[in-house]
Structure 1
Amino acid sequence: MTHAATGLRRRLTTAALAVLLVTTVAACSSGSGESRDSGGGDAASSEAEAPARGADADRPDGLSALDDSTGRNVATGPADVADVADERKLISQGNVQLRSEDVEQALFDVQQVVDTVAGEVVQKDTATGEAGAATRARLVLRVPSARFDEAMAGLEDAADLVTSSSNVQDVTTKVLDVDIRVRVQRRSIQRIEVLLDQAESIRDIVAVERQLSTRQADLASLERQQAYLADQTAQATITLSIERTKAPADKAEEKEDREGFVAGLDSGWTGFKNVTVALATALGAALPFLLVLALLAWPARLLVRRLARRRTSPVVEA
């Protein structure tokens, strides 16, 4: 019993010491954290920047340790990333097909919708009929991405809707990646330009210029991607087509044209053309055979005449 009691007392003492040690460490960590928050922010920033500057000095190409060869981040802080990621970047595209008895009125209504959402018509193709009235039209519209849904709803009500479809692509991550790579690439080019000014030998100048040309080409490509994404995310694209539907009066006139003298004349002319085409086709098919028969008939005729003369000539008696 005495040995068991001694072991239990020893385990309890060890556990109490462990709890006391953990409490002390937690208190020290909390105190040091508060002191850094209250007055040590600048000092911590300086200490964080010092290793980066030291790494820059140790790198042979003079680039920041926050860069890498692919141009990906690393120089951008969490605050910059959060600012860009707060707003979603969407590429929106729509397709609307309408029908209307009056295409020109439908075009007017479509223009009103475009003006309401502060958009613009970037392409317009219109076909007209015999009377000069529009029979169909095709338009390409650019509207603010934030008002894409409003524009689609307005266009669908501009005339009789046939089909409507939309496609929205989230490119927030891609936009963020390209923006970061552009900033990093620009900083890299600035550092290489400094190295070019400091280079003394021809070999160093050639090597630095090669690096500078490569990174400038990469930067130009990234800037084109950045401009394209900025345009596509700022303005949505909608393709709209309008076709003319026949009015009841037009249908009645068409029905009347199918009957009467004009309809009979048209049917007779069509039949005449069909017969003429059939005869011409038959003649064309038989012509080669007729030519061959004509060539064979002439020698045959001469032979027949010669045989006939021999039969009719008198026999001379001795």
Structure 2
Amino acid sequence: MTHSSLVRRAPVAVVATICLLAGTLLTGCSDAGSSETSAGSASADRAAIGADAPAPADTKVDAIASNARGGGSQVQHRAEISHGNVILRAPDVADARTDVRRLVDRYDGEVAADQTDTDDDGRVVSANLVVRVPSSDFVDAMDALRGVAELAYASSDTKDVTTRVIDTRVRLRAQRRSVHRVETLLGRAQDLRDIVLIENELAQRQAALDSLEQQSAYLADQTSLATIAVEIDRAHHAAAKKHEDHTGFLAGLSAGWHGLTAVAVGLATALGAVLPFAVALLVLAALAWPALRVARRRHRPPTPSTPAG
């Protein structure tokens, strides 16, 4: 291929790229603004992009979007994300933990995380579980968990994400069509410059498509299963104190012994506190005593001598 042919085909590549971008923008606006798409056109779009059936992660999103478009202004099925927290107190944490797992099985849920702590004797003193139950059973499951043991704290939060689900589904469908159009254009490209430009555009659109698919999968998971964090701690019950007779010989002996022990401990404590100072003073006195003796001898007046016979 000569240099002149490349120069002549360069404007063609630029024009093709501009047309591709303009067609994508027009298609995206048409998909986002149109709310009366018929079933026949939707089937044709899926056939055009090679998607005969929706992805498993988009099933719930498709149903919500279809209800929103076909049900008028009122959405029949709402998409909600629910979270709950429950703190329980139980004398036997192991039994309460078993009851929680049975309750989750009753609602066809699952235990996403389970952590237990034990004491030195091997008894379970606390348990932390993260359970997932169907969103439709969230309220009933919360009420059932409150009755497993003594309730210390409970909270729940539900967010309506119907609009977000519909928006994600519409954007996902438009992005799949856009990727398919770029792939079709890449298959028809002959010039190396055109191929490089189209491949770069395809990589960007594919990355955007992957991000939308991850968002769709996350929404489908969160709206289908509610998450509840369950914490179980061991309840500490104070034992009743027995009434004791504090009179008589034995009671007096016990009181005297405890008093003697307290006095001995106090004296030992005082002695231990004074002993370092006493040792230091003794050392200083031992060092200063020779100097004091010399000083006393120098300052002592001489005694007069007595004459003999």
TM-score by length of 1: 0.62
Aligned partners of 2:270 and 2:166: how far apart in 1? 71
Aligned partners of 2:256 and 2:35: how far apart in 1? 82
| 1:234 alignment partner AA | S
Query: Would the aligned equivalents of 1:63 and 1:191 in 2 still touch at CA under 8 Å?
Result: no
1:171 equivalenced with 2:161 (yes/no)? yes
Q: Alpha-carbon deviations, 1:22-77, whole Å to 9, x = none?
A: xxxxxxxxxxxxxxxxxxxxxxxxxxxxxxxxxx9993447343125xx9735775
| 2:184 alignment partner AA | V
Compute the displacement of 1:178 (Å): 1.1
1:67 equivalenced with 2:55 (yes/no)? no
Number of aligned positions between the proteins: 252
> How has the CA–CA distance of structure 1 residues 132 and 188 changed in structure 2, closer, same or farther, with 3 Å as cutoff?
same
Residue number in structure 2 paired with 1:310: 298
Deviates more, 1:192-201 or 1:173-182: 192-201
1:230 equivalenced with 2:230 (yes/no)? no
| 2:233 alignment partner AA | E
Residue number in structure 2 paired with 1:101: 91
Residue number in structure 2 paired with 1:181: 171
1:148 equivalenced with 2:148 (yes/no)? no
Residue number in structure 2 paired with 1:16: none
1:135 equivalenced with 2:125 (yes/no)? yes
Compute the displacement of 1:301 (Å): 5.7
Structure 1: runs of 5+ lacking an equivalent:
1-55
Root-mean-square deviation over aligned CA pairs: 4.4
| 1:136 alignment partner AA | S
| 2:239 alignment partner AA | K
1:83 paired residue among 67, 72, 84: 67
Residue number in structure 1 paired with 2:116: 126
> How has the CA–CA distance of structure 1 residues 276 and 103 changed in structure 2, closer, same or farther, with 3 Å as cutoff?
farther
Residue number in structure 2 paired with 1:206: 196
Identity %: 39
Q: Alpha-carbon deviations, 1:196-228, whole Å to 9, x = none?
A: 223333332222222111111111111111111
1:117 equivalenced with 2:76 (yes/no)? no
| 1:63 alignment partner AA | G
TM-score by length of 2: 0.63
Structure 2: runs of 5+ lacking an equivalent:
1-15, 39-61, 69-74, 304-309
Aligned partners of 2:178 and 2:255: how far apart in 1? 81
Aligned partners of 2:299 and 2:84: how far apart in 1? 96
| 1:116 alignment partner AA | R
1:241 equivalenced with 2:200 (yes/no)? no
